[in-house]
Amino acid sequence: MQLIIPAFNEERRLPTTLRSLRAYVLAACEGVGPVEVIVVDNASTDDTAEVARGFDSPAMVVRVVTCSKRGKGAAVRAGMAATDADIVAFMDADGATELPALVEAVSLIEAGADVAVASRALPGSVTWERHSRVRAKGATLYRRLTQAVVPSVVDTQCGFKVFRGDLARSVFDQTGSTGFSFDVEVLARCAARGLEVVEFPVMWTDVPGSTFVPSRHGASSFVELLAIAVRMRRLRRSQSDQRVTLLPLVESIPAPSPLPLAAES
Protein backbone atom coordinates (compact mmCIF):
# COMPACT_ATOMS: atom_id res chain seq x y z
CA MET A 1 0.00 0.00 0.00
CA GLN A 2 1.08 3.56 -0.70
CA LEU A 3 -0.31 6.30 1.55
CA ILE A 4 -0.28 9.94 0.45
CA ILE A 5 -0.09 12.78 2.97
CA PRO A 6 -0.51 16.28 1.48
CA ALA A 7 1.43 18.75 3.59
CA PHE A 8 1.64 22.53 3.54
CA ASN A 9 3.75 23.95 6.39
CA GLU A 10 3.20 20.86 8.55
CA GLU A 11 6.59 20.65 10.29
CA ARG A 12 4.90 20.75 13.71
CA ARG A 13 2.01 18.30 13.26
CA LEU A 14 3.62 15.88 10.80
CA PRO A 15 6.07 14.24 13.25
CA THR A 16 3.27 13.07 15.56
CA THR A 17 1.31 11.68 12.63
CA LEU A 18 4.27 9.84 11.08
CA ARG A 19 5.39 8.48 14.44
CA SER A 20 1.90 7.16 15.20
CA LEU A 21 1.53 5.77 11.69
CA ARG A 22 4.82 3.87 11.88
CA ALA A 23 3.92 2.39 15.26
CA TYR A 24 0.48 1.35 14.02
CA VAL A 25 1.75 -0.19 10.78
CA LEU A 26 4.30 -2.27 12.68
CA ALA A 27 1.70 -3.42 15.22
CA ALA A 28 -1.05 -4.10 12.68
CA CYS A 29 0.99 -5.78 9.98
CA GLU A 30 -1.81 -8.31 9.45
CA GLY A 31 -4.45 -6.68 7.31
CA VAL A 32 -2.33 -3.70 6.24
CA GLY A 33 1.00 -5.03 5.07
CA PRO A 34 4.01 -2.87 4.15
CA VAL A 35 3.17 0.82 3.79
CA GLU A 36 5.12 3.38 1.81
CA VAL A 37 4.27 6.94 2.80
CA ILE A 38 4.40 9.65 0.15
CA VAL A 39 4.50 13.09 1.75
CA VAL A 40 3.64 15.76 -0.81
CA ASP A 41 5.36 19.01 0.09
CA ASN A 42 2.84 21.53 -1.20
CA ALA A 43 5.11 24.57 -1.64
CA SER A 44 5.82 24.77 2.09
CA THR A 45 7.88 27.64 3.46
CA ASP A 46 9.00 25.70 6.55
CA ASP A 47 10.94 22.46 7.07
CA THR A 48 8.09 20.09 6.16
CA ALA A 49 10.15 18.19 3.56
CA GLU A 50 13.16 17.78 5.83
CA VAL A 51 10.99 16.60 8.72
CA ALA A 52 9.33 14.01 6.47
CA ARG A 53 12.64 12.69 5.14
CA GLY A 54 13.83 12.25 8.70
CA PHE A 55 11.21 9.55 9.23
CA ASP A 56 12.30 7.40 6.30
CA SER A 57 13.38 3.99 7.59
CA PRO A 58 13.29 0.29 6.67
CA ALA A 59 10.31 -0.07 9.02
CA MET A 60 8.27 2.43 7.00
CA VAL A 61 9.56 4.02 3.82
CA VAL A 62 8.82 7.74 3.59
CA ARG A 63 9.27 9.48 0.25
CA VAL A 64 8.86 13.20 -0.41
CA VAL A 65 7.23 14.50 -3.60
CA THR A 66 7.24 18.21 -4.37
CA CYS A 67 4.12 19.96 -5.67
CA SER A 68 4.70 23.64 -6.42
CA LYS A 69 1.04 24.30 -7.25
CA ARG A 70 -0.78 25.32 -4.06
CA GLY A 71 -3.92 23.47 -3.02
CA LYS A 72 -4.81 20.21 -1.32
CA GLY A 73 -6.35 18.78 -4.48
CA ALA A 74 -3.23 19.57 -6.49
CA ALA A 75 -1.05 17.96 -3.82
CA VAL A 76 -3.05 14.73 -3.62
CA ARG A 77 -3.15 14.48 -7.42
CA ALA A 78 0.64 14.85 -7.54
CA GLY A 79 0.94 12.15 -4.93
CA MET A 80 -1.35 9.80 -6.85
CA ALA A 81 0.71 10.32 -10.00
CA ALA A 82 3.76 9.10 -8.06
CA THR A 83 2.13 5.82 -6.98
CA ASP A 84 2.24 2.37 -8.55
CA ALA A 85 0.73 0.17 -5.81
CA ASP A 86 -2.39 -1.98 -6.10
CA ILE A 87 -3.94 -0.14 -3.14
CA VAL A 88 -3.43 3.59 -2.58
CA ALA A 89 -4.80 5.99 -0.01
CA PHE A 90 -4.55 9.51 1.30
CA MET A 91 -4.90 10.94 4.78
CA ASP A 92 -4.48 14.36 6.37
CA ALA A 93 -1.20 15.44 7.91
CA ASP A 94 -2.89 16.10 11.25
CA GLY A 95 -3.81 12.43 11.70
CA ALA A 96 -7.39 13.39 12.61
CA THR A 97 -8.81 10.01 11.54
CA GLU A 98 -7.94 7.21 13.95
CA LEU A 99 -5.57 4.74 12.28
CA PRO A 100 -7.67 1.56 12.70
CA ALA A 101 -9.49 2.97 9.66
CA LEU A 102 -6.58 1.61 7.60
CA VAL A 103 -7.41 -2.01 8.38
CA GLU A 104 -11.14 -1.43 7.87
CA ALA A 105 -10.60 0.29 4.52
CA VAL A 106 -8.19 -2.33 3.19
CA SER A 107 -10.59 -5.10 4.16
CA LEU A 108 -13.38 -3.35 2.23
CA ILE A 109 -11.17 -3.05 -0.86
CA GLU A 110 -10.15 -6.71 -0.60
CA ALA A 111 -13.83 -7.63 -0.28
CA GLY A 112 -14.60 -6.00 -3.64
CA ALA A 113 -15.07 -2.27 -3.08
CA ASP A 114 -13.29 0.10 -5.44
CA VAL A 115 -13.20 3.02 -3.00
CA ALA A 116 -13.44 3.05 0.81
CA VAL A 117 -14.47 6.42 2.23
CA ALA A 118 -14.07 7.28 5.92
CA SER A 119 -17.21 8.99 7.22
CA ARG A 120 -17.94 11.12 10.25
CA ALA A 121 -21.66 11.09 9.54
CA LEU A 122 -22.59 7.40 9.68
CA PRO A 123 -24.02 5.57 12.70
CA GLY A 124 -21.08 4.30 14.71
CA SER A 125 -18.77 7.22 13.91
CA VAL A 126 -17.35 9.25 16.78
CA THR A 127 -16.11 12.82 16.39
CA TRP A 128 -14.56 15.40 18.67
CA GLU A 129 -14.87 18.88 17.18
CA ARG A 130 -13.99 22.40 18.32
CA HIS A 131 -15.63 24.21 15.41
CA SER A 132 -17.35 27.54 15.91
CA ARG A 133 -21.07 27.87 15.28
CA VAL A 134 -20.41 29.77 12.03
CA ARG A 135 -18.05 27.06 10.74
CA ALA A 136 -20.51 24.34 11.74
CA LYS A 137 -23.32 26.03 9.81
CA GLY A 138 -21.05 26.46 6.79
CA ALA A 139 -20.10 22.78 6.91
CA THR A 140 -23.77 21.77 7.09
CA LEU A 141 -24.65 23.91 4.07
CA TYR A 142 -21.64 22.60 2.14
CA ARG A 143 -22.61 19.00 2.89
CA ARG A 144 -26.14 19.60 1.61
CA LEU A 145 -24.81 21.04 -1.63
CA THR A 146 -22.46 18.11 -2.17
CA GLN A 147 -25.50 15.81 -2.11
CA ALA A 148 -26.56 17.34 -5.42
CA VAL A 149 -23.23 16.25 -6.96
CA VAL A 150 -22.57 13.00 -5.10
CA PRO A 151 -25.88 11.86 -3.59
CA SER A 152 -24.50 8.43 -2.72
CA VAL A 153 -21.86 9.73 -0.25
CA VAL A 154 -22.87 11.34 3.05
CA ASP A 155 -19.47 12.75 4.08
CA THR A 156 -17.30 13.68 1.11
CA GLN A 157 -14.79 15.76 3.05
CA CYS A 158 -13.27 13.41 5.61
CA GLY A 159 -9.60 13.39 4.63
CA PHE A 160 -9.15 9.62 4.61
CA LYS A 161 -9.89 7.55 1.51
CA VAL A 162 -8.55 4.29 0.08
CA PHE A 163 -8.71 3.18 -3.57
CA ARG A 164 -7.78 0.44 -5.97
CA GLY A 165 -4.57 1.84 -7.37
CA ASP A 166 -5.19 1.62 -11.11
CA LEU A 167 -8.65 3.18 -10.76
CA ALA A 168 -7.41 5.99 -8.51
CA ARG A 169 -4.63 6.97 -10.91
CA SER A 170 -7.06 7.04 -13.83
CA VAL A 171 -9.71 9.07 -11.97
CA PHE A 172 -7.30 11.60 -10.47
CA ASP A 173 -5.69 12.13 -13.86
CA GLN A 174 -9.03 13.49 -15.12
CA THR A 175 -9.77 15.82 -12.21
CA GLY A 176 -9.35 19.58 -12.40
CA SER A 177 -10.00 20.65 -8.81
CA THR A 178 -6.97 21.91 -6.90
CA GLY A 179 -8.53 23.13 -3.64
CA PHE A 180 -10.30 21.63 -0.65
CA SER A 181 -13.33 20.53 -2.70
CA PHE A 182 -11.35 18.07 -4.80
CA ASP A 183 -12.83 15.07 -2.91
CA VAL A 184 -16.24 15.87 -4.38
CA GLU A 185 -14.99 15.70 -7.95
CA VAL A 186 -13.05 12.50 -7.30
CA LEU A 187 -16.10 10.75 -5.81
CA ALA A 188 -18.42 12.11 -8.49
CA ARG A 189 -16.16 10.74 -11.22
CA CYS A 190 -15.98 7.40 -9.44
CA ALA A 191 -19.78 7.30 -9.33
CA ALA A 192 -20.00 8.25 -13.01
CA ARG A 193 -17.82 5.24 -13.84
CA GLY A 194 -20.07 2.96 -11.85
CA LEU A 195 -17.38 2.14 -9.29
CA GLU A 196 -18.36 0.66 -5.95
CA VAL A 197 -17.87 3.37 -3.31
CA VAL A 198 -18.35 2.25 0.30
CA GLU A 199 -18.50 4.55 3.33
CA PHE A 200 -17.52 3.32 6.77
CA PRO A 201 -17.68 5.00 10.20
CA VAL A 202 -14.51 6.23 11.89
CA MET A 203 -13.26 7.95 15.01
CA TRP A 204 -12.16 11.48 14.14
CA THR A 205 -10.61 14.24 16.26
CA ASP A 206 -10.38 17.89 15.28
CA VAL A 207 -6.65 18.64 15.65
CA PRO A 208 -5.52 22.25 16.23
CA GLY A 209 -3.52 23.94 13.48
CA SER A 210 -5.66 23.23 10.43
CA THR A 211 -4.53 24.93 7.23
CA PHE A 212 -8.19 25.37 6.28
CA VAL A 213 -9.21 28.89 7.32
CA PRO A 214 -12.97 29.53 6.81
CA SER A 215 -12.51 33.25 6.18
CA ARG A 216 -9.88 32.54 3.53
CA HIS A 217 -10.93 29.21 2.01
CA GLY A 218 -14.67 29.00 2.68
CA ALA A 219 -15.90 31.06 -0.26
CA SER A 220 -13.40 29.50 -2.69
CA SER A 221 -14.54 26.01 -1.64
CA PHE A 222 -18.14 26.85 -2.55
CA VAL A 223 -17.03 28.37 -5.87
CA GLU A 224 -14.97 25.27 -6.64
CA LEU A 225 -17.94 23.06 -5.73
CA LEU A 226 -20.07 24.94 -8.26
CA ALA A 227 -17.41 24.44 -10.94
CA ILE A 228 -17.34 20.72 -10.15
CA ALA A 229 -21.12 20.53 -10.46
CA VAL A 230 -20.92 22.14 -13.91
CA ARG A 231 -18.15 19.78 -15.06
CA MET A 232 -20.01 16.72 -13.85
CA ARG A 233 -23.24 17.84 -15.55
CA ARG A 234 -21.33 18.16 -18.81
CA LEU A 235 -19.80 14.72 -18.28
CA ARG A 236 -23.20 13.12 -17.66
CA ARG A 237 -24.61 14.86 -20.72
CA SER A 238 -21.69 13.62 -22.83
CA GLN A 239 -22.17 10.06 -21.55
CA SER A 240 -25.88 10.26 -22.34
CA ASP A 241 -25.18 11.53 -25.87
CA GLN A 242 -22.73 8.68 -26.43
CA ARG A 243 -25.34 6.11 -25.39
CA VAL A 244 -27.90 7.66 -27.72
CA THR A 245 -25.38 7.61 -30.60
CA LEU A 246 -24.35 4.00 -30.01
CA LEU A 247 -27.89 2.62 -29.64
CA PRO A 248 -28.77 2.70 -33.39
CA LEU A 249 -25.43 1.02 -34.16
CA VAL A 250 -26.14 -1.76 -31.70
CA GLU A 251 -29.67 -2.23 -33.04
CA SER A 252 -28.36 -2.42 -36.61
CA ILE A 253 -26.15 -5.42 -35.87
CA PRO A 254 -27.98 -8.47 -37.22
CA ALA A 255 -28.76 -11.27 -34.83
CA PRO A 256 -26.61 -14.36 -35.39
CA SER A 257 -28.23 -17.11 -37.45
CA PRO A 258 -29.15 -20.25 -35.53
CA LEU A 259 -26.62 -23.02 -35.83
CA PRO A 260 -27.79 -26.01 -37.91
CA LEU A 261 -28.79 -29.04 -35.90
CA ALA A 262 -26.42 -31.95 -36.10
CA ALA A 263 -27.68 -34.77 -38.31
CA GLU A 264 -29.13 -37.66 -36.36
CA SER A 265 -27.14 -40.84 -36.63
Alpha-carbon 252 to chain mean position? 41
The Cα 78–Cα 68 span in angstroms is 10
Residue in 84, 102, 81 with CA at minimum distance from that of residue 22:
102
User: Could you give the percent of the chain with pLDDT greater than 90?
Assistant: 68
10 Å CB burial of residue 224 (0-12, 13-18, 19+) is: buried
Look up residue 203 and give its DSSP letter: E
The Cα 180–Cα 215 span in angstroms is 14
Domain residue limits, the chain: 2-248
CATH 3.20.20.140 fits 2-248, yes or no: no
Return the half-sphere exposure (C-beta side, CA atoms, 13 A cut-off) of residue 245: 6
pLDDT in tens, 106-159: 999 999 999 999 999 999 999 987 666 666 777 788 888 999 999 999 999 999
* Residues in a beta bridge with 97: 204
Give kind and range of the element (H or E) at residue 20. Answer: helix 14-27
Task: Identify the three-state secondary structure at position 133.
Answer: helix
pLDDT in tens, 175-230: 999 999 999 999 999 999 999 999 999 999 988 876 665 656 568 888 999 999 99
The Cα 231–Cα 100 span in angstroms is 35
pLDDT at 248 over 60: no
